[in-house]
Structure 1
Amino acid sequence: MSGHPGSSALAAAELGPDSTPVAIERWVTRHLADYLGRELDPGAVDRDRHARALPREVFSRCAELGLLAYLLPPPLGLGGSRRTFGLLLEQIGRVCEELELPSLLSLFADLPGALSSATPEIVERYVGGAARGEVLLAFAYTERCETYEFETRARPRGDDWVLEGHKVAQTGGALADAFVVYARDDTDRLQAFLVDRDAPGLHVEPVWSMGFRAGGMTAMTLEDVVVPASHRVIPADGLGQVQAFLNARRIFICAAWPGRMQALLDTLIEFLQGRIRQGVPLTQMQTVQSTLGRMYARTRAARAVLHDALERMASGEHRLAFDPVLSAAKYTVVDHALAFANDALHLTGWSGYTDQLPFERTLRGFMGGIAGQTTQEVLLVLLGQAAIAELEIRRSRGDER
């Protein structure tokens, strides 16, 4: 296989499974911070204003560094750890103004692994291409109904399959060259198919969203889309595969957020130091200090929860289908981030409510976490059920406390 990005990607190989947060911070500062500050950040406000997706060139840069191959197993990729990759996303969040970059990076690096058991031709073209940054894959799963009621259907036609249906939200769809599309067959089993963007009958349209506008959100309609049998990439147990995939990705959706919170806290303090009231900077007022203290506490708490969840993944202790600790971590980080951004708006007034400062844009981005990767309210229900089940298990073992 020629999928491995080669010698030009040795930079990412420096990031081992036991790399410390400090070492990862230094790596991002050395390899990405200047590039993102020069090439990406200046266009952040304009992309948000006009709902333009991130430039594809930034992912070419990520591929050059080996980041798109990092999670793929050898020989296609570097076989890196999810713990290290999560910490990497946190630090990218620190140096990049747009939450969309670490989110899309995690998707484009993670999704190709779902195709690793496909035919050699698929693996070479799509998985290898993804590792090299030549192919970007998006995830077409969500519909306006529960999984067991999916309207998107797949029916066999000779040696091919025909897909019909509608998918409502594909992160990164505006940039994607192909989609992993989930559909139910005639026996109601969930199947996954690889569909090229230019497939006849596939219609992809942009989706306007409250925030996360540079994330290239799309919706798709499939009308008599013919897919070769070789593009049925997960034929055995699509439901089990997608549950494990979503569970493992849940913490990635907000992994960058503690880093972004830290950067925004620094920006906020600098802004308030330049605001004079009654002859003194606002940062010398105790009410302001109290709010900054609360924001600092939320930032540190979000970071601690993130790191704990990533360590759990590294140890192999997490459950595959639904892990309550990873899910609780996602819920907690999102909750802290939303409260953090709300405090920032209270402290900055009209300036923070406009695009003069990044706070209103970031708050809208953080709000995407309410719905993304299982909604916050659904997670609460699932976590409540997990708490009840865990008590019953302890009772059955006779170790209730």
Structure 2
Amino acid sequence: MKTPDAQDFLDLDGQLDDAERDIAATVRAFAARRLAPHVADWFDAGTIPAPRELAQEFGALGVFGMHLSGYGCADAGDVAYGLACRELEAVDSGLRSFVSVQGSLAMGAIHRFGSEEQKQEWLPGMATGSALGCFGLTEPDSGSDPGSMRTRARRDGSDWVLDGTKMWITNGSVADVAVIWARTDSGVRGFVVPTSSPGFTAREIPRKLSLRASITASITLDGVRLPATAALPGAEGLGAALSCLNEARFGIVWGVVGAARSCFLAALDYAKTREQFGRPIGAFQLTQRKLADMVLDVNHAGMTALRIGRLKESGACHHSHISLGKLGNVRAAQRVASAARSIHGANGITLDYPVLRHMLNLETVATYEGTEEVHALSLGAALTGHSAFR
């Protein structure tokens, strides 16, 4: 009997159908050719050069809104989307975030809550990457508690006028359209805001030490006047915004499996080739124990992602399933990245190897789209029937 393949020890890809395997292989090949050779330089520079050019390549690949139907979207299924996230985050979390913010948050909100006119105006261009979107929910003083947002939308005749600030907005300074969430007299609502609107300003956030191969901005809305048709007709109440976040979190559940796999395979290769005391360090018991723990985490996370993906496709996925996946899989990926860094020794702190870059990125991934504490409390509420938030 053949020894299991280290890249997929439990043959989880054997549980995929042919179309899903083809999508995973296509995205992996694109990532290896187009992204992996450059990502260390992008991380070092703290940005993505020519993001619009890259967006059109992602559009041609078909990954923007690939789980959505119609309007130029691929309708490829939730597991296929998860696999694309896995292969992109195997290169870098910032690149997966670039895709998931566009497809799950901005496009997903318009697809689910928008009018037919809004969908026709924005979704086809966003699917091809000729138009970029962002999602404005988080504020400087409102992270885990989005219900305390201060951004407001008031009626002025038939128009809406928006004032407020949004923070940590991926793609914010390069987007053509922003989905902005604001408090109104009748509750929280979502709005489709062209970024060319007078009073809309986006500034890139500098000096990040994590998720550096990405574009992150703050957004200021200073009397942004919009027609009545800018409101997303189906997006009333905070639950609408949170349902969009759940879609993005699903991408994280899968994405961090890729980050963990990348760290594990780098450590395994290093352990086989790095010699100390006259033998490869992979021949020592302590290193083998680290590698064994790592392959456990990678494969357990992969099983979790696949199971949640199948639940989602069957319509049986509760938001607490996503919380379990994000909480558990991010923790597993962080353990793998840390162990991989230790196996690499001093070399592990350089950009010549991917492990510390992944470690730093995972610090952000553990925080955004719901902190570890928020997801733990979500699980607690599902288990006990009592919410600890308010």
Determine the structure 1 residue equivalent to 2:189: 191
Determine the structure 1 residue equivalent to 2:284: 285
1:352 paired with 2:348, answer: yes
Q: Give distance in 2, aligned partners of 1:236 and 1:26.
A: 35
More relative contact order, 1 or 2 (CA 8 Å, 6+ apart):
2
> What are the superposed Cα offsets for residues 57-85 of structure 1, whole Å, 9 maximum, x if unpaired?
23212222332252232354333322221
Q: Give distance in 1, aligned partners of 2:218 and 2:356.
A: 25
Tell me the CA shift for residue 194 of structure 1.
1.2
Determine the structure 1 residue equivalent to 2:9: none
Equivalences for 1:160-171 in 2 at 5 Å?
A: 160-171=159-170
Equivalences for 1:150-299 in 2 at 5 Å?
A: 150-187=149-186, 189-208=187-206, 209-234=208-233, 237-299=236-298
Unaligned runs of 5+ in 2: 1-13
Tell me the CA shift for residue 23 of structure 1.
5.3
The size of the alignment, in residue pairs, is 366
Determine the structure 1 residue equivalent to 2:100: 106
Q: Give distance in 1, aligned partners of 2:114 and 2:19.
A: 36
Determine the structure 1 residue equivalent to 2:384: 388
Letter of the aligned partner of 2:385 in structure 1?
Answer: A
Unaligned runs of 5+ in 1: 1-17, 391-401
Determine the structure 1 residue equivalent to 2:335: 339
Identity over aligned pairs, percent? 25
> What are the superposed Cα offsets for residues 183-231 of structure 1, whole Å, 9 maximum, x if unpaired?
01133x1111111222211111112333111221111111111112111
Report if aligned partners of 1:24, 1:88 keep a CA contact under 8 Å in 2. Answer: no
Q: Which runs of 4+ in 1 moved over 6 A?
A: none
Secondary structure in structure 1 of the residue aligned to 2:36:
helix
Aligned counterpart for 1:59 among listed residues 14, 39, 55: 55
Secondary structure in structure 2 of the residue aligned to 1:215:
coil
Determine the structure 2 residue equivalent to 1:15: none
Q: Give distance in 2, aligned partners of 1:176 and 1:156.
A: 25
Secondary structure in structure 1 of the residue aligned to 2:37:
helix
Report if aligned partners of 1:71, 1:113 keep a CA contact under 8 Å in 2. Answer: no
Q: Give distance in 1, aligned partners of 2:79 and 2:29.
A: 24
Secondary structure in structure 1 of the residue aligned to 2:171:
coil
Q: Give distance in 2, aligned partners of 1:140 and 1:316.
A: 27
Distance 1:388 1:119, change over 3 A: closer
Determine the structure 2 residue equivalent to 1:8: none
Letter of the aligned partner of 2:99 in structure 1?
Answer: L
Distance 1:236 1:104, change over 3 A: closer
Report if aligned partners of 2:107, 2:123 keep a CA contact under 8 Å in 1. Answer: yes
